[in-house]
Amino acid sequence: MWRKNKLQMPVKSTDSLIGHGGTLEGKLNCDTNLRIEGNFSGEIHCQGTVTVGEQGTVRSSIRAQDIIIAGKVFGDVIADQRLMMTDTGQLHGNILAGSLSIMEGSVLNGSVAMAEEPATEKAGGLQKKEHADKAGKRGSKQAETA
């Protein structure tokens, strides 16, 4: 009848929403995406994307993988991957981000610091290529003289 070793279905992540007209105050930790269309005050720590909608106002520090600002944010933000400010976005605070996109019309009052990205090529990679080119030239010169 009932099996002890049931296969459990993976739980789908759902987005969290603070809707227009809603007000929330406190510390918010979430593993999913978060969208704010209302008002929030406190701290936000999110493993997904935090989106502050055009009607949203946030008086908080925000830390998330990705942050999209289309409304008003008063506080420091840390985007582990990227921060995007739309043409209606306003940020009054400091930024630390892996990459940054600021559209014309947005307002930024604060400082910006970018996270360093690792080098894509190994050091000395160009030298190996030059040696191969010189060896190829020597071989063609020797063939010409013979």
pLDDT tens digits, 66-96: 999 999 999 999 999 999 999 999 999 999 9
pLDDT of residue 12: 42
Nearest residue to 97 via CA among 115, 117, 70: 115
pLDDT of residue 145: 54
pTM of the model: 0.70
Q: How many CB atoms lie within 10 A of CB 45?
A: 15
Type of residue at 67 = I
The DSSP result for 18-47, as a single string, is E-TT-EEEEEEEESS-EEESSEEEEEEEES
With cut-offs at 50, 70 and 90, classify the pLDDT of residue 9: very low
The domain limits of the chain are 16-104
